[in-house]
Amino acid sequence: MPKFIQFLYLIPLALSAVISLKAFRLSWPRAFQLFSIFLIGTLLVELFAVNWKSWMYETTWWSYANSNIWVYNIYYLPSYLVYYIF
């Protein structure tokens, strides 16, 4: 069972993703809105990777490897797209 300290990095990531939503409410420039989308996407991928390693790798319908490296490999596509835009 993973320890809480291993997931401590999710707290500042979640806080920054939630606070970055202010970019949409205050009509900030488009670059800040895109960065907010990037932060939210990063948080979602991290949560998916953590859940995959914890319990999602084995369900009633499938049984895959416990490794979650493929989640991060798929995430390279949108992250490089955002890097290209900036």
- How many helices (H) and strands (E) the chain has is answered by 4, 0
pLDDT digits (tens, 9 = 90+) for 6-63: 889 999 999 999 999 999 989 889 889 988 988 998 899 889 888 888 888 887 887 8
**Backbone conformation region of residue 27, classed left if phi is above 0, alpha if psi is from -120 to 50, else beta:** left
Instruction: Delimit the domains of the chain by residue range.
Output: 12-85
Instruction: For the full predicted model, state whether its pTM sits above 0.75.
Output: yes
CA-closest candidate to residue 47, choices 81, 11, 19? 11
Residue 50 · residue 8 · CB < 8 Å: no
